[in-house]
Amino acid sequence: MSSLALPDKALATAVQGLPENALAANRQAALARFLERGFPTTRLEDWKYTDLAAVADISQRWLENGAPLPSAESVGARVAEIRAAIDIDWIVISNGVITDGLDNGAIEGLSIATFSELDLAPGYDHPLADLNAALLPDGLHIRVHANTAHERPLGLLIADGSDSQPGVAQSRIFIELEEGSRAQFVEYHASIGEADHYANSVVELSLARGASADYVRVQGRDSRHTQTHRTAITLRDSSTVRYSGFDLGGRLIRNDLDIDIAGREATALVGGLYIAGDGQHVDNHVRIDHRVGPARSEQEYRGILGGRCRCVWNGKTIVQPGADGTDAEQSNHNLLLSERSEIDAKPELEIYADEVKCSHGTTVGQLDDTALFYLRSRGLDKQDAMRALTRAFGASIVSHSPIALLTDHLKETVEQRLSTLTDGDDA
């Protein structure tokens, strides 16, 4: 087989089985597009290191079972845990279904609706976005009214998984920040359950002139589960996005972050931290497209790898013809705690304009022996010293994450993740 396809009929039946709403026609169109292309394969440059065979396999088994939508109850415990840990207003999408929304009007200056209510068709040209649109029960639309400022973050919790049989869940969120508005979002991906699971999500963020968004994405999936996730951000004149992504769990994770700089004086500040241990594959692809200038983008990703795992970072910055005055920086630093860890890091700069300032830097290394000896010479045992240095490596991403209210939770979660990583692997 030349591509990772899914059986046409079973997929069509699954699409048929979804709740009847305004999305129905669009699902059929998206299904046709997906069937034409199938899942992206490793023959594509962008997918060279990430093989979706496991994802296709889970999807296939899910289809064979009659494509059930697992119940929301199966993820209830995990949802409760996150609600208890982070005290903000949450909208919960359980196994692809918006189960716990906020009433429209619950927050002044914010409109919350489903795609079907607005008769909105999910778009975005990509096979995985097509698969998402074909199988999507409904999408979530959030509109931040012009010139309103929201100091309290809004939580978007995507929770899925099941104990009994392979599951597949789609979720889609569209956030529109109108002119001069300001808001903060926490997007949390979590999963629970014994059975294999594949979650596929698309989040779109559109910032109008002068709008500003602080955005933190946390991926804390179960180590058995898989995810493909695409975020597309469009920035108009003088808008600013501060975005941080944390990948702490999952078996096979692929995140695509596309930032379209479509306005002058726009700013995109992106940070990312991925921590992977035995059996994990975590791939972050970031593409920042400077279409006009002057504008500024910065991205710094850090990775901590222990045990037999593989991570991928691909940071691509494109400066289009005429985007003069672009200031773009990208960096990626990796700490390999084990000889069995592998990182494929690829910075890319494509510059077609003259008046630009661009830089990139990538490093891959081990813990610094000199620092390790220094800490041990003060009485810290080797394990503690290693843990302190490992934690320190990721600390800048945590402390620069844009939502202060979340910092303590992130510190704790990262700490927990690292303790299992360094305890299990002393290579």
Partner 1 sequence: MLEIKDLKVRTGDTPILNGLSLSVKAGEVHAIMGPNGSGKSTLAQVIAGHEDYVVTGGSVEYRGKDLLQLEPEERAREGIFLGFQYPVEIPGVNNAYLLKAALNAKRRHQGLDEIDAFEFLKLAKEKMALLGMDPKFLNRGVNEGFSGGEKKRNEILQMAMLEPELAILDETDSGLDIDALKAVAHGVNALRSPDRAIVLVTHYQRLLDYVEPDVVHVLSSGQILRSGDKSLALELEEKGYDWVREAANA
| Position 396 contacts partner 1 (CB under 8 A) | yes
Beta partners for 315? 286, 347
Q: Which is nearer to partner 1, 89 or 381 (CB)?
A: 381
Give, as ranges, the residues between 359 and 388 that touch partner 1 (CB under 8 A).
Answer: 368, 370-371, 373-382, 384-385, 388
3-state secondary structure 291-320: CCCCEEEEEEEEEEECCCEEEEEEEEEEEC
H or E segment at 63?
A: helix 53-64
Of positions 392, 408, 412, 423, contacts partner 1 by CB under 8 A: 392
CA dist 167 and 219 (Å) reads 18
Neighbouring CB atoms inside 10 A of 43's CB total 9
List helix spans (H) across 360-403: 369-376, 382-399
Longest distance between any two alpha carbons in the chain, whole Å? 68
Neighbouring CB atoms inside 10 A of 180's CB total 18
Interacting span for partner 1 (CB under 8 A) from 56-64, 91-99, 161-169, 394-402: 394-402
Shortest Cβ 333–partner 1 spacing (Å): 12
Shortest Cβ 380–partner 1 spacing (Å): 5
Shortest Cβ 400–partner 1 spacing (Å): 12
Shortest Cβ 3–partner 1 spacing (Å): 44
| Position 393 contacts partner 1 (CB under 8 A) | yes
Phi, psi of 420 (to 5 degrees): -75, -30
| Position 407 contacts partner 1 (CB under 8 A) | no
Joined tokens for residue 161: 């998984």
Q: Which is nearer to partner 1, 352 or 373 (CB)?
A: 373
Of positions 349, 395, 409, 411, contacts partner 1 by CB under 8 A: 395
Give the count of alpha carbons within 13 A of 241, CB side only: 36
CA dist 259 and 297 (Å) reads 9
Q: Which is nearer to partner 1, 152 or 382 (CB)?
A: 382
Give, as ranges, the residues between 149 and 168 that touch partner 1 (CB under 8 A).
Answer: none
Q: Which is nearer to partner 1, 352 or 374 (CB)?
A: 374
Q: Which is nearer to partner 1, 291 or 387 (CB)?
A: 387
Shortest Cβ 417–partner 1 spacing (Å): 16
Q: Residue 58: name the closest of 156, 189, 193, 158 by CA.
A: 193
Q: Which is nearer to partner 1, 189 or 302 (CB)?
A: 302
Q: Residue 216: name the closest of 246, 189, 239, 191 by CA.
A: 246
204, 175 in Cβ contact below 8 A? yes
Q: Which is nearer to partner 1, 180 or 394 (CB)?
A: 394
Q: Which is nearer to partner 1, 139 or 303 (CB)?
A: 303
Shortest Cβ 371–partner 1 spacing (Å): 5
Shortest Cβ 410–partner 1 spacing (Å): 14
360, 390 in Cβ contact below 8 A? no
Neighbouring CB atoms inside 10 A of 264's CB total 16
Q: Which residues bind partner 1 (CB under 8 A)?
A: 368, 370-371, 373-382, 384-385, 388-389, 391-396
